[in-house]
Amino acid sequence: MEVTGKERGAGQRDMRMLPEVQGAGVLVLDHQARIVHVNRQAEVLLARPAADLLDQDAHDSLHRNRHGQTTPRSRCPMSRAFLSGQAAQGQHEWYERGDGTLLPTCWTITPCRISEDAAGAMVIFFEQEPGTAPEESEGRPEAPLSELDRLALLAETTTTLTSTLDAQEAVRRLTRLVVPRLADWAVVDLITDGDEVWRTSVVHYEDGGLVDREDLQGPMPPIPQESVMPLSRALRGAASTLAGPENYQGPPDAGIAVAQRKLFEETGMHSAAIAPIRGVREVLGALTLGQGERPEEFSDLSLLEDIARRAGLALENARLYQRQQRVTETMQRHLLPQLPLEPGLEMAARYAAAPEGSEVGGDWYDAFRLQDGALAVAVGDVVGHDADAAAAMAQVRNMLRAYAWSYQEPPGAIVGRLDQAVQHMTEASLATLVFARVESGGEGEAGVQLRWTNAGHPPPLLVTYDGQAGFLDSTMDTMIGAELTAPRQDATAALPPLSTLIFYTDGLIESRGRSLSEGLDRLRQHAAALAHRPLDAFCDLLLSRVRPPDNDDDVALLALRRPDRDG
């Protein structure tokens, strides 16, 4: 069977090629089990418009047990049939409707081609007659897994664990995959970077749900090389093995054996299977599956080893990522400067990395004293938010410092020199920048002057103590690196007593969901409302309130405040 179609309206696909069966809903799935076609009857049965179903994972968005809980893929007959590429049919399954109620279904799934070079499957389903669905076994089958069940579970394990780079989340997902499907208890012990053992997770299936036993988690005694107890051997990389409370009844050969004895006593497990969690280079920990309520022991050690092996690869990737994050965070701390102590001015700065990128980037701020006693301040943005952008940013910032110190010139002339150097001497392609001099000229309202130039950057915002806020946008030249030939412009403004001056990068105001002018208005509104807050609180609140929730860029923020009339 071949099904083809093209998008129509707000995402619905052409339904002319789909079969029309009286009273039947029809879904077509792509090779990833995502819904690509929906017929009208499916919309009616599911009380969902096609737009809410298209491109969604069919299992996650629809398949439920009779309690409304998501069915594990390894236990879902439709998912197993899809993975096997075979036709199948069944009944006594439930789909979740748009209003949250459950639709009992009988169904048929068959492989099909959805285009000339892509395979998928077609699901035809009907509403099950009421009163015909049997009682479930609460999700705890006693029969051993079939080969298809094993393959489905291992495929789900790989997909689920490798889709996160957070080690804690990977452990949480691991325990949810195996309990209660395989065992009553799951215990994860991990070896930290400092070679300490930490009991990271102890999870139990109880009253139809999973319970985290935090009282049994925490640091563990060290692993002595001479210990022959099952957990000690697994943490040293030995093959998987079965264990029970009887293994720990005699005199303990190490402190970790005492901890294991307590685990069996507290949990009531009568048997357990323990496997090492190995990465490519080293042993990362151990996975224990225990039985308490079920009379049989878990003896499928090859399955346990396969699951632990996949967990090891996922955890190793997560650890490598987290180590990289720590390195880049350290790099960022060294790249961003310490603010100087400036008489008559308060200063505070914040940096927030792009949520999905590296912890370093091209956004930066700076403040430093010049030879003539003036304070130089700058905020800039080199294109990009990764380690390359950070390296280019460091070059631009250091060259700006050198030019500003060496030449007693207005900000526009300094940035003009920097522009020429960037084009010929750095790895930066384009950058925006506001560079300013803060000059003390006397007492009163005009006692502190700001002289600045703007190279394609969002304008600074000046907020007075009484809540009046205005952007310093009287002048703006092109970005650095754009090969500007005309001299750059300068502008001046007075900083009134108790006023706050805010420099920032575009990540604070830009968003996919609103215009730039809306972002600027939002910044002005919140900055005015926070004018009386202490400067550190002002920066924290401004960042949390103004930064868009869908922000995918770095943010640098530098705030200056003239505290009083004598400043």
CATH classification at residue 216: 3.30.450.40
Does some domain include residue 321? yes
Residues 170 and 261 occupy one common structural domain:
yes
Q: What is the pLDDT of residues 137-183, one digit of tens each?
A: 444 444 566 677 788 788 888 888 988 888 999 999 999 999 988 99
Per-residue confidence in pLDDT tens, the chain, 567 aa: 444 443 333 334 444 445 555 678 999 999 888 999 999 999 999 999 999 999 999 998 999 888 788 877 767 888 877 877 777 778 878 999 998 899 999 888 888 877 767 788 889 898 887 654 444 444 444 456 667 778 878 888 888 898 888 899 999 999 999 998 899 999 999 999 888 999 999 999 887 788 999 999 999 999 888 889 999 999 999 999 999 999 988 888 889 999 999 999 999 999 999 999 999 889 999 999 999 988 888 888 999 999 999 999 999 998 888 777 676 666 666 667 788 988 889 999 998 876 655 455 678 899 999 999 999 999 999 876 566 777 778 888 899 999 999 998 999 999 999 998 887 776 667 889 999 999 986 554 457 899 999 999 999 999 999 989 999 988 888 998 877 667 899 999 999 999 999 999 999 998 877 888 999 999 999 999 999 999 999 999 999 999 987 777 888 999 999 987 544
Q: Please give the torsion angle defined by the CA atoms of residues 67, 69, 72 and 75, in that order, rounded to the nearest 10 degrees.
A: 20
Does some domain include residue 138? no
Does some domain include residue 229? yes
Which tokens in the block code for residue 335?
């790249």
Residues 166 and 46 occupy one common structural domain:
no
Does some domain include residue 429? yes
Q: How far is residue 45's CA from residue 25's CA, in Å, rounded to a whole number?
A: 7
Q: How far is residue 525's CA from residue 542's CA, in Å, rounded to a whole number?
A: 10
- Give the per-residue pLDDT at 7: 37
Residues 190 and 313 occupy one common structural domain:
yes
Does some domain include residue 485? yes
Residues 168 and 98 occupy one common structural domain:
no
Q: Residue type for 285, please? A: G
Residue 103: domain span:
7-127
Q: How far is residue 20's CA from residue 4's CA, in Å, rounded to a whole number?
A: 15
Q: Is 432 helix (H, G, I), strand (E, B) or coil?
A: strand
- Give the per-residue pLDDT at 446: 56
Residues 268 and 289 occupy one common structural domain:
yes
Other beta carbons within 10 Å of 365: 24
Give yes or no for a contact between 81 and 88, defined as CB atoms under 8 angstroms apart.
yes
Identify the burial level of 437 via C-beta atoms within 10 angstroms of its C-beta, where 0-12 means exposed, 13-18 middle and 19 or more buried. Answer: buried
Number of H helices, E strands in the chain: 13, 25
Residues 154 and 282 occupy one common structural domain:
yes
Residues 266 and 348 occupy one common structural domain:
no
Does some domain include residue 226? yes
Q: How many structural domains compose the chain?
A: 3
Please list the residues that pair with 185 across neighbouring strands.
204, 290
Residues 122 and 181 occupy one common structural domain:
no
- Stated as kind and residue range, the H or E segment containing 314 is helix 301-335
Residues 240 and 384 occupy one common structural domain:
no
Residue with tokens 């526009």: 412
Does some domain include residue 332? no
Q: Which of 209, 256, 269, 267 is nearest to 228 (CA)?
A: 256
Give yes or no for a contact between 544 and 551, defined as CB atoms under 8 angstroms apart.
no
Q: Which of 530, 561, 505 is nearest to 393 (CA)?
A: 505
Residues 283 and 363 occupy one common structural domain:
no
Q: How far is residue 421's CA from residue 397's CA, in Å, rounded to a whole number?
A: 12
Residues 316 and 412 occupy one common structural domain:
no
Q: How far is residue 161's CA from residue 174's CA, in Å, rounded to a whole number?
A: 7
Domain boundary among 98, 127, 156: 127
Residues 394 and 482 occupy one common structural domain:
yes
Domain boundary among 127, 161, 186: 127
Compute the half-sphere exposure of residue 80: CA atoms within 13 Å on the CB side of its CA.
18
**Residue 94, domain CATH:** 3.30.450.20
**Residue 398, domain CATH:** 3.60.40.10
